[in-house]
Structure 1
Amino acid sequence: MQKPKLTQFQRPKSTLSPLPSKQRGIVFSSLLLIVVIVGMVLLALYLLKLDRTITKKFEGKRWDLPAKVYSQPLELYQGAKVNNEAMKTWLELLNYRSNKDYNRTGSYHKSGNTYFIHTRGFNYSANDVDKPQVIKMTIADSMVQTIQSTVPAESGIIRLEPVSIGGIYPDSNEDRLVVSLDDVPQPLIDALIATEDRAFYDHKGVSIRGIARAVINNFSGGSMQGGSTITQQLIKNFYLNSDRTLKRKANEALMAVLLELHYSKDEILQTYLNEIYLGQNGNRSINGFGLAAQFYFNQPLNELRLDQQAMLVGMAKGPSIYNPRRHPNDSKARRDVVLHNMLTMGMLSQETYDAAIAKPLDIVDKPVEGKSQFPDFLDIVKRELNEVYYPDDLKNEGLSIISTLDPIAQLAADKAVDKKLGELRRRGSKTKDLQGALVSANPETGELVAVVGSGSEFTGFNRAVDAKRQVGSLLKPVIYMTALESGRYNLASPVDDSPITVSSGDGSKWNPKNYDGRDHGYIPLTTALAKSYNQSTVRLGMEFGVDTFVRQLRRLGVEEKIPAYPSILLGSVNLSPMDMLGVYQVFATGGFRTPIHSIRTVIDDRGRILQRTGLNTQRSIPPETNYLTNYALQQVVKSGTARRAQSLGSDLNLAGKTGTTNNYRDAWFAGYSGNYVSVVWVGRDDNKPIGLGGGSGALPVWIDYMQRLRLTPVSMPEPEGIEWLWLENNSGKLSNERCESARYLPVMSAHLPKEASDCAIALYQQEQAQQQMQWQREQSRLNQQRLNEGLQIPNSEVINPDAADDTRQERPDTWYNRALEWF
């Protein structure tokens, strides 16, 4: 059969022969090898990324640590003025426990007036560390009579640690108190290992046995269990989240192994102990066992009982489920499980276990680490810090701030304001919405010791600083100080309290009136201030000028803008209680101005001192002027509008000034003892009248506060340029103690009176005549004696008793100065 011919368009089909199987294997293996190599490279890169993530945070700054603010410490030494009530209060604030054995830190025993106190110690800086010690101290007559300690004190001063008053927290709202592994009780570590990871010291980050046990238990219908080791839990909390995904679990396992390759078990355990989440305090999380011990028991971690440590370990499984405040039964049951685990592992004896599970939870109702009990003072500390530090540094760097707060004074202020405002609010409709503020400082150092500036809930509006209100008569002493400094007036000089009209530049007229509605004519300068008369004050202020008054306020530290119109002479200028505290601090210290401050030292997390507040003291008022002003302010208390303060003790020589504004909208009192200068304001936030003056509204609060403290008398050193003379009251002329209106008063040596009163002149002339007659009688006796002896009587003999040389006189020998000595 003939084959068909192929055309040019037809070609025979080609036949493809398959590759040999060996070649196919090589290709597949190559591809697989490439995939494996790429996978290994990617895995290596991924592991490298995870590794860098781990080491970067673990070796760097692990946490944003809040700043902690503390009070000043209590200094104890022989002769220190401390009474039993103050010691009781301080020990309660520190949450010390009464224990006859006082064998643990944070415990004490009181036997009669003798205390045995086992202190906790405190780190004030790297070079200033108080170690735990036992103090034996006897208090008698409100004073430390004897004091001994197990740790030598070269200075003779033993400090009881400061009280925690609050913190400045990171934006993450995480709060923690970092502890070292050496400070963690061994039973707590045993409890944690027995409950959370019994093979912790054997595995390399991941426990295959633990995972298998959890899987078997979960599939067999038992209670849900996790197979995570402590290292894995740390990874989850430190780097990851709680998502239940395979990817997250894989990352957790890988990172756990990497972490164990880099760091020791102790480093991992210490980080876990400080990282673990153990509850919620408002919007802040409680992280770490150190802070949890304070939050639930108000005690440091190393002072907790075994059962308390076990309770905290039990919370690690679920802080919400086992919250002892909300679910005490569940919390106790979980605690007992932890204790049983320790018993099973041989970490506890049966006797110790039985005693521990019989203990109640003993959770405190109000933790120290809760809301600050001194929020107004803490607010002022924050404001002062913000002037120096960046906000992020305050929130994240773990600073320790030792403030100037005196807890004894602060508690006294809180009680005084609460008690007296409560009484005033019950008086009627005008006072039912009454508010108040109190600020108090050490006048010599300018250290703020107590602040009350808000109501029961701190809202951020601190009346001690933010309430700018008219201060009324609190500024009157500045006018009288100006008059005394000029030399034109002394304390007995007359001032005119008759009606006065002041014309302003715009043609308006101002007619100030006294609060009693009466005119008093000419009155002594001290009386005008003590009785707080307006007309005499304005007349005196206008004599020296409004501009002079403003300059004087600047000298006293007032930085607010002050309008230069006449009514400011009666205090129509808006200032805060803190502003007025600064003014009266100058009066209380002899004319020296030391800025009021709330911080002593700032220490970083390594113990380095970043800031130490020293005394920045400047002379503001001449000492002679301030001495006279202080005397005048003392008369306000002795016989003026603040005489109720005499109830505190006439021997204290207290000084101060009441203040009342128009229509009785604001009531003020500012005053001082030797060791406290304090200012009180009482009013309404809506600025409506309250019907109370300084003497009836603010002074009662001030008295109640000051009587709760141990006051020292005002004892101002007398400057060299001061002399005490008898002066005629309401004329300022020289006088004599036998004159009815004479007062013995301090006078500036540079401005002595040049006139004498009529009474004094009459007495002087009478005495001179008596001396002349006595001299004549003596001369007659001598002449008679000479005659009897046959001697010649001299023709003239000059005997002038006034010319006797007195080497003690420093003044020129003139008639005026000789008369001045007599007066």
Structure 2
Amino acid sequence: MFTWRRVRVALLIVALAVVGFALYLDFEVRHAFEGRRFALPARVYARALELYPGARIDPDALARELKLLGYHEGLRGAEPARYEQHGDEFRLVTRAFNFWDGPQAAQDLRVDFRDGRVSALRDSGAHNLALARLDPMRIGGIYPAHNEDRLLVRLDEIPPHLVEALVAIEDRKFFSHHGIDPRGLARAFVSTVSGRGVQGGSTLTQQLVKNFFLSPERTLRRKFTEIIMAVLLELHYEKNEILETYLNEIYLGQDRNRAIHGVGLAAHFYFNKPIKELTLPESALLVGMVKGPGLYNPHRHPDRALARRDLVLAEMHRQTAIDDARFQAARATPLGVVAKPSLGTSPHPAFLDLVRRHLKRDYHEEDLRSEGLLVFTTLDPLIQRAAEAALSGRLAALDRSRSRERTLEGAVVVTSTQSGEVMALVGGRDPLYEGFNRALDAERPVGSLLKPAIFLTALARPDVYTLATPLDDSPLVWKSRGAPDWEPQNYDKTSHGEVPLRTALAQSYNQATARLGITLGVPEVHRTVHALGIARELSPYASSLLGAVELSPLEVTQMYQTIASGGFRTPPRAVREVLTADGKPLQRYGLRVEKAFEPEPVYLLTAAMQDVVREGTAQGLRRYLPDTLAVAGKTGTTDELRDSWFAGFSGDRLAVVWVGYDDNHPAALTGASGAMTVWGELMAAIPNEPLVPPVPEQIEIVWIDPANGLRANADCAGALELPFYRGSAPTANSPCVPAHAEGSGKSWWRRLFE
């Protein structure tokens, strides 16, 4: 009697424990499933290409953009994402897209080109349009743990044949069982006790429980938990709710380090189309991959994937889900997956890194990784591709010509001179590498790139300095308490005596520049550097005048952005707008502009920097760009040729390039022989406007005799027209000017366009 009482008590305790465990699991199931909040990554997009009459884009560039967006050649009625090209004429049907200012329906467009610009834009009814936008290219995301990516879809968006295929091959009794299949469990039990290991027998509901709630371990305890939770799930929720969650949760492949979850994203990844447009054989392929996305990957194992797809179709046919005609037609269809390169979390990880850093100023990391925010950026895919190709191609060519064990590295930043928007950013020679981002984090000595700040400081004093002011380029020894003597030398180891200020910058003479900076005062020059946008503290020693300052390429971009914009400081920005997951505007990042300098000294400096390209250290750019662009720039070379820099701008593009070794080993490259060649190839590959800055009110143009710096006219041999602050130009005439002679001829910038 005593023994039976103990048994009953033990059974009661076990029953209470099971009930308690079931109640706990019931709470867990309802709590997690009722929210059903998948962690959705922020989805990041490039800029949307705008088409309008006069837009500077040629037919080839539009064709490249459409291919990047996954548009297909050949029109099929009003089917979106298709185009036809006939010479300089395009017809295309855009995709519908939800922009910051509201949804835009698909459009049937006619686009005509002439001389590298859009000449006409019309709709299908031949009505003229002022503007049309293409849907932007998705360039990545900011992902939750394990880099899970998914695109949520509703069950009514999913083709019925996909659901039929899934049920036929994975769980034919799904709509009749209550979470578990007793026969399947029996098979699994026999397999387990016979020593063949813990086996499946899982229904779709059990699979969802396993993926949604449990760890991947294969134990009897976890199987028992899975069974109870599956039954509880079926007690509380409708079949369609369970099925929709399953189809959004299921793992369907890997894109480098990005995990593809859910049929919505898988439809785009494998077929480049929305889920509702999937055909029967395409749906069967996705369903077949559920058993093993790696094993049946159609990109790596097409024959195996095809056999698995056909098995799904055969099972659907056997269960009369499809008839003979549909079965035979589907089996005769090729796989049809798009040939996508493996890009991982982003094809442009360095730019995405910049976007993430900008967004972290306003958003928590967890929100970026889980709330499904829609982020619209400034990246121009065509300029980004050109920057990547120029950097990788030139570095490979330089490495081949040098036969060295080390491989050169580099970084590129491209911005709009008007807005400061970052149009491209490359963090290294391998654009897909997600490690060290040199564009943002490589802090290297900038060498002569700091010199424009010295000359800008001088030119802001028109009573003392002009472009024609003679500077002393003789040897210099500077003594400073607490520092060793500083004795700068010119690159060619030669002193050039007295040279005009513009020539000292064009030829990058160190001695003349250092002496000018010391005369102006190191603190005064540093104030100019800070006004240009450099926030970090600088060394108080005179050596900083010649670039003994470590900056990242993005910081250099900020400095030159202020010069290129005519003296207005505009922080480089990578984000335009942020929307919620359901398309509601959340935040817009507008243009921030602050006047840093008067326009006159910046105009004079720009003219001197154009001389750097026209006749100075960067004249090798003539191999890449026509003189009519009149670009301005500056080479930068550091001690022992460790770093090669070039920064320059056209009328609408600014680009900064760094080339060197990560270990700081001498690269044996000057700014002209290394970074400038990357810059030249890049700028030659993208559209640019000529640099013709507006002439400020207080600037006048005067003929100067370079032989003596005196006023001249067009008839003087070698005479130049130079800009001056009004009243600062020489008043005495050169001997070449006859009495009462008047200057005539064409100004220096007009001659550029002849």
TM-score past 0.5 threshold = yes
**Structure-2 separation of matches of 1:312 and 1:282:** 19
Spell out, residue by residue over 1:590-615, the C-alpha distance to the aligned partner (whole angstroms, 9 max, x if none): 11111112222233323344432211
**Structure-2 separation of matches of 1:246 and 1:437:** 54
Provide the residue aligned with 1:70 in structure 2.
45
Provide the residue aligned with 1:567 in structure 2.
543
**Structure-2 separation of matches of 1:242 and 1:516:** 68
Structure 2 counterparts to residues 221-370 of structure 1, below 5 A:
228-241=202-215, 248-249=222-223, 251-282=225-256, 284-364=258-338, 366-367=340-341, 370=344
Provide the residue aligned with 2:633 in structure 1.
656
One-letter amino acid matched to 1:656: G
**Structure-2 separation of matches of 1:34 and 1:217:** 33
Rate the CA distance shift 1:369–1:338 in 2: closer, same or farther, 3 A. Answer: farther
One-letter amino acid matched to 2:562: V
One-letter amino acid matched to 2:663: D
Q: 1:114 aligns with which of 86, 89, 102?
A: 89
Q: 1:401 aligns with which of 375, 385, 400?
A: 375
Provide the residue aligned with 2:564 in structure 1.
588
Rate the CA distance shift 1:136–1:29 in 2: closer, same or farther, 3 A. Answer: farther
Provide the residue aligned with 2:109 in structure 1.
135
Rate the CA distance shift 1:493–1:365 in 2: closer, same or farther, 3 A. Answer: same
Rate the CA distance shift 1:569–1:431 in 2: closer, same or farther, 3 A. Answer: farther
Provide the residue aligned with 2:699 in structure 1.
722
The alignment's C-alpha RMSD in Å is 3.5
Provide the residue aligned with 2:747 in structure 1.
none
Rate the CA distance shift 1:651–1:231 in 2: closer, same or farther, 3 A. Answer: same
How many residue pairs match? The answer is 736
**Structure-1 separation of matches of 2:517 and 2:62:** 49
Secondary structure at the counterpart of residue 667 of structure 1:
strand
**Structure-2 separation of matches of 1:306 and 1:187:** 6
One-letter amino acid matched to 1:67: A
One-letter amino acid matched to 1:286: I
Provide the residue aligned with 1:525 in structure 2.
501
Provide the residue aligned with 1:458 in structure 2.
433
1:428 partnered with 2:402: yes
**Structure-2 separation of matches of 1:758 and 1:239:** 89
Secondary structure at the counterpart of residue 460 of structure 2:
helix
Provide the residue aligned with 1:814 in structure 2.
none
One-letter amino acid matched to 1:484: L
Provide the residue aligned with 1:611 in structure 2.
587
Q: 1:359 deviation in Å?
A: 2.5
Structure 2 counterparts to residues 427-446 of structure 1, below 5 A:
427-429=401-403, 433-446=407-420
Q: 1:288 deviation in Å?
A: 1.0
Please tell me whether the aligned partners of residues 257 and 344 of structure 2 are also in contact (alpha carbons under 8 angstroms): no
Spell out, residue by residue over 1:327-359, the C-alpha distance to the aligned partner (whole angstroms, 9 max, x if none): 433322221121123334444343332222123
Rate the CA distance shift 1:694–1:327 in 2: closer, same or farther, 3 A. Answer: closer
**Structure-2 separation of matches of 1:477 and 1:153:** 51
Provide the residue aligned with 2:154 in structure 1.
180
**Structure-1 separation of matches of 2:242 and 2:707:** 83
Rate the CA distance shift 1:667–1:430 in 2: closer, same or farther, 3 A. Answer: farther
**Structure-2 separation of matches of 1:660 and 1:151:** 58
One-letter amino acid matched to 1:705: L
Q: 1:297 deviation in Å?
A: 3.8
Rate the CA distance shift 1:404–1:507 in 2: closer, same or farther, 3 A. Answer: closer
1:82 partnered with 2:57: yes
Secondary structure at the counterpart of residue 145 of structure 2:
coil
Q: 1:245 deviation in Å?
A: 5.8
**Structure-2 separation of matches of 1:313 and 1:66:** 24
Provide the residue aligned with 2:723 in structure 1.
746
Secondary structure at the counterpart of residue 672 of structure 2:
helix
**Structure-2 separation of matches of 1:228 and 1:459:** 39
1:545 partnered with 2:521: yes
Q: 1:381 deviation in Å?
A: 2.0
Q: 1:496 deviation in Å?
A: 1.9
1:686 partnered with 2:660: no
Q: 1:670 aligns with which of 637, 644, 647?
A: 647
Secondary structure at the counterpart of residue 440 of structure 1:
strand
Please tell me whether the aligned partners of residues 710 and 732 of structure 2 are also in contact (alpha carbons under 8 angstroms): yes
| 35-44 or 511-520, which deviates more | 35-44
**Structure-1 separation of matches of 2:518 and 2:200:** 84
Q: 1:737 deviation in Å?
A: 4.2
Rate the CA distance shift 1:368–1:406 in 2: closer, same or farther, 3 A. Answer: farther
**Structure-2 separation of matches of 1:325 and 1:755:** 76
Please tell me whether the aligned partners of residues 52 and 129 of structure 2 are also in contact (alpha carbons under 8 angstroms): no
Q: 2:609 aligns with which of 626, 633, 641?
A: 633
Provide the residue aligned with 2:746 in structure 1.
none
Larger radius of gyration: 1
1:698 partnered with 2:675: yes
Please tell me whether the aligned partners of residues 147 and 345 of structure 2 are also in contact (alpha carbons under 8 angstroms): no
Please tell me whether the aligned partners of residues 437 and 577 of structure 1 are also in contact (alpha carbons under 8 angstroms): yes
**Structure-1 separation of matches of 2:205 and 2:180:** 8
Provide the residue aligned with 2:748 in structure 1.
none
Secondary structure at the counterpart of residue 763 of structure 1:
coil
Rate the CA distance shift 1:172–1:610 in 2: closer, same or farther, 3 A. Answer: same
| 480-489 or 53-62, which deviates more | 53-62
Rate the CA distance shift 1:731–1:485 in 2: closer, same or farther, 3 A. Answer: farther
One-letter amino acid matched to 1:393: D
Please tell me whether the aligned partners of residues 646 and 672 of structure 2 are also in contact (alpha carbons under 8 angstroms): yes
Q: 1:274 deviation in Å?
A: 0.6
Q: 1:550 deviation in Å?
A: 0.8
Secondary structure at the counterpart of residue 596 of structure 1:
coil
Please tell me whether the aligned partners of residues 635 and 676 of structure 2 are also in contact (alpha carbons under 8 angstroms): yes
Structure 1, unmatched stretches of 5+, are 1-23, 768-823
**Structure-2 separation of matches of 1:225 and 1:500:** 84
Please tell me whether the aligned partners of residues 295 and 368 of structure 1 are also in contact (alpha carbons under 8 angstroms): no
Q: 1:199 deviation in Å?
A: 4.4
Q: 1:47 deviation in Å?
A: 4.5
**Structure-2 separation of matches of 1:563 and 1:69:** 39
| 226-235 or 440-449, which deviates more | 226-235
**Structure-1 separation of matches of 2:228 and 2:665:** 69
Secondary structure at the counterpart of residue 279 of structure 1:
strand
Q: 2:687 aligns with which of 686, 703, 710?
A: 710
| 343-352 or 682-691, which deviates more | 343-352
Q: 1:545 deviation in Å?
A: 0.7
Spell out, residue by residue over 1:240-298, the C-alpha distance to the aligned partner (whole angstroms, 9 max, x if none): 35566665555444434443444333322221111112234455543211222344344
Please tell me whether the aligned partners of residues 122 and 161 of structure 1 are also in contact (alpha carbons under 8 angstroms): yes
Q: 1:727 deviation in Å?
A: 3.8
Secondary structure at the counterpart of residue 694 of structure 1:
coil
**Structure-2 separation of matches of 1:569 and 1:408:** 37
One-letter amino acid matched to 1:443: T
Spell out, residue by residue over 1:747-781, the C-alpha distance to the aligned partner (whole angstroms, 9 max, x if none): 223x43473235488624x89xxxxxxxxxxxxxx
Spell out, residue by residue over 1:134-185, the C-alpha distance to the aligned partner (whole angstroms, 9 max, x if none): 3333334322233334799999432222222222222244332222224323
Provide the residue aligned with 1:95 in structure 2.
70
Q: 1:552 deviation in Å?
A: 0.6
Spell out, residue by residue over 1:678-700, the C-alpha distance to the aligned partner (whole angstroms, 9 max, x if none): 01112222323333211222211
| 229-238 or 483-492, which deviates more | 229-238
- With the length of structure 2 as denominator, give the TM-score of the two structures: 0.88
**Structure-2 separation of matches of 1:688 and 1:416:** 23
Secondary structure at the counterpart of residue 111 of structure 2:
strand
Secondary structure at the counterpart of residue 402 of structure 2:
coil
Q: 1:318 deviation in Å?
A: 3.2
One-letter amino acid matched to 1:537: T
Provide the residue aligned with 1:386 in structure 2.
360
| 29-38 or 463-472, which deviates more | 29-38
